Amino acid sequence: MARKISILIVDDEDSVRDSLYSWFIEDGYAVECAEDALAALSKLESGNYDIILADIKMPGMDGLEMLRRIKTMRQEQIVIMMTAFATVDTAVQALKDGAFDYVTKPFDPDDLSHLIRNASRQIALEEENELLREKVVSLENIGDIVGDSEAMKRVLRDIESVAQSNSSVVITGESGTGKELVARAIHSNSTRRFFPLVSVHCGALTESLLESELFGHEKGAFTGAIYNRKGRFEMADNGTIFLDEIATISTKMQIDLLRVLETKKFVRVGGNKEISSDFRVICATNKDLKTLVEKGEFREDLYYRLNVVNISVPPLRERADDIPLLAEYFIKKYCHAMNRPPVTIEPQALRRLSEFQYPGNVRELENIIERAIVVGGGRKITLNDLPALHSTPVSQAESLEDLERVHIKMILDKYDWNISRAARALNVDRVTLYNKISKYGLRQAQ
Amino acid sequence: MVQPQITLISFGYFEESFLKDIGTAVGKELVLPVRIREGFIDLSEFYDPTRRQYNATRLLKEVDMVYGQEPDRTLGLFSVDLFIPILTYIFGQAILSGRTGVASHYRLNNERYGLPPDPFLLLSRFSKEAIHELGHTFGLVHCHNPLCVMRSGTYVEDIDQKEASFCAHCNELLATFIKTNHKPD
């Protein structure tokens, strides 16, 4: 429900104050009155009013002087000036001093309604504008970056601080940690957000293909180049280019890339015209670039050009606190995508998920949840729906023997100590399994 | 407290049947007993010669002081042109959540707009105006529903657009107001 608009009526005539008061009260506004400018200014010191309706001619301080004082206090305050003695000069002066409107008493009821409606609309627009500005300032497009752990909060803080700058960013982190999401969040919160974010997966392309992909090519530049083609740098003009797996690019590409980053100019493959493009570079890698530089596998000058800001995305095992939150997020995501009724996860299954190490990080957790929803088919994800985890539970076992004991126990539990089925699953014969049970002193839990 | 009654007081000449029809419309919508009576006020005291109109704010105070009676609601019916100091004219006015209101049919007549007289339309407009002002006395403010009688109307055409009844929301507010403020003993 829309909030009540508040109005302050400033007029030295009782009858005017009373009649305006009654009129606005009947219209559902919150109304207060002041009998002169000083009383109005004092009310303004302690309270806020959306609209001030003030007479120009008042004893003591007149309405125009009051308007000027109000405007020095609150530039955006809406003040409507009223007068029974309209002159062009006072009207011009009032509007010059920042009055929202200027009306002659008495007014037509319809004019008064229009006046207040316009002022209310202005207030609503300003409030909406303020809201949108706040929204722009707050981080956007981070909905997919789920996590409440201190490590993730640090990543979000880094995104926020780096987004508004134009600096190159290197995002490091293991595979599946969500480096591309971080890049998207940086772009979405930068001044370049209305322009494209162009992603290039460097690792997936050969050197020649990557060259053509990044710089574009002219018709006939090589066999199969039937048309002119814009490169990714050109497409990212005014926006951001995201170079994933930057550590995989060849030495030649590193030189070309360094030149483009320095000049923001390049030539299409097979072309001779220099093209300019204004882009921001965000790179991602799961390798330690510094080590590659030391080994001579990555150019030092390119490293320093790219690594202005570094954001390190922690692996999932270092933020295990986020696993329940992520699990819930992915369950919702896939239930929605598959048009399935809401699915919950049983505590044991969630505990198992939390204990897992996730070499594939968040991507692996996402796949596990997706699979559990597809395969499980029920309203609840149970331990049985998480088969992928059976092989790699977190174990305190250090020796091979300990690991074997834990694994055999887990398989036996899974098949309710049905020796034949457990032996089949373990790919050993029943005798071997009995021997192992005996060797490790395994017993079925009562 | 007892159930409030509505008192319609005519000031000046009104056809008896006209008043009766207004009373019927008001009683039907507010579901409260309606009394009709004549009143007397020396209107010359409320006449503003510069505006050639009658000051509704002062008239309202007078009606309230002389005829207002708790817990009833009193509506003064006039046939003169009403104004409030800040506005060029009004059709009526009431004390919000108070006991009194005033309404005039002066500007509700088709003749004022160069059209042939239409007694049925006049009755419809005045009934709506009376219900509207009485609605204010029961705490209702202007409603955004275009058909609700509590919709603000600054032209007769606005009054013609709405119906002589409260919308569901206003009806609920009205019932709550009466229940809260006029609990039976």
pLDDT in tens, chain A (446 residues): 456 789 999 999 888 888 888 888 888 888 999 999 999 998 888 788 899 999 988 888 888 899 999 988 888 889 998 887 767 777 788 888 888 988 888 888 888 888 888 888 888 888 777 767 655 545 555 667 888 888 888 898 899 889 888 899 999 998 888 898 899 889 988 888 888 888 888 888 888 888 888 988 887 878 777 777 788 898 888 889 999 999 999 988 999 999 999 998 888 888 888 888 899 999 999 888 888 999 888 999 999 999 899 999 999 888 888 888 888 888 888 888 888 888 888 888 888 888 888 888 888 888 888 888 887 777 888 888 876 554 444 555 567 888 888 889 888 888 888 888 899 888 888 889 998 888 888 887 65
- Chain B residues touching A25 at Cβ < 8 A: 96, 141
pLDDT digits (tens, 9 = 90+) for B99-139: 999 999 999 999 888 888 999 999 999 999 999 999 999 99
Residues 18-77 of chain B with CB under 8 A from chain A are: 51, 55, 57
For the whole model, what pTM was predicted? Answer: 0.52
- CATH code for the domain in which residue B125 is found: 3.40.390.10
Check if B163 is active-site.
no
pLDDT of residue A391: 45
| Helix (H) or strand (E) run with residue A371 in it | helix A361-376
CB A264 within 8 A of CB A238: no
Q: Which of B133, B157, B163, B172 is catalytic?
A: B133
Q: Is residue B1 part of a domain?
A: no
In angstroms, the CA A36 to CA A39 distance is 5
pLDDT of residue A140: 55
- For the A6-135 domain, the top CATH level (class) is alpha beta
Chain A positions with Cβ closer than 8 Å to B: 13, 15-16, 18-20, 22-23, 25-28, 82, 105-110, 112-113
**Residue B161 touches chain A, beta carbons under 8 Å:** no
Contact A22 B86 (CB under 8 A): no
Contact B141 A105 (CB under 8 A): no
**Please, where in chain A does CATH 1.10.8.60 lie?**
317-440
- Alpha carbons within 13 angstroms on the beta-carbon side of residue A408 total 26
**Please, where in chain A does CATH 3.40.50.2300 lie?**
6-135
Q: Is the pLDDT of residue B24 over 90?
A: yes
Angle between helices B119-137 and B16-30 (to 10 degrees): 50
DSSP string for residues in A121-159 = HHHHHHHHHHHHHHHHHS--S-TT----SHHHHHHHHHH
pLDDT of residue A24: 87
pLDDT of residue A389: 55
What is the residue type of A128? E
B81 vs A117, more confident: B81
Tokens linked to A309: 């800001």
Q: Which CATH number describes the domain made up of A150-312?
A: 3.40.50.300
Q: What are phi and psi of B47, to 5 degrees?
A: -85, 135
Q: Is residue B122 part of a domain?
A: yes
- Domain count of chain B? 1
DSSP letter assigned to residue A380: E
Q: Is residue B51 part of a domain?
A: yes
In angstroms, the CA A379 to CA A373 distance is 9
pLDDT of residue B86: 85
Contact B86 A113 (CB under 8 A): no
Tokens linked to A149: 């752990």
**Position of tokens 């490169």?**
A231
Interface test with A, best of B86, B90, B93, B158 (most A CBs within 10 A): B86
Range of the domain at B55: 6-181
Report how many Cβ contacts below 8 Å link chain A to chain B. 63
Q: Is residue B21 part of a domain?
A: yes
Please give the CATH architecture assigned to the domain spanning A317-440: Orthogonal Bundle (1.10)
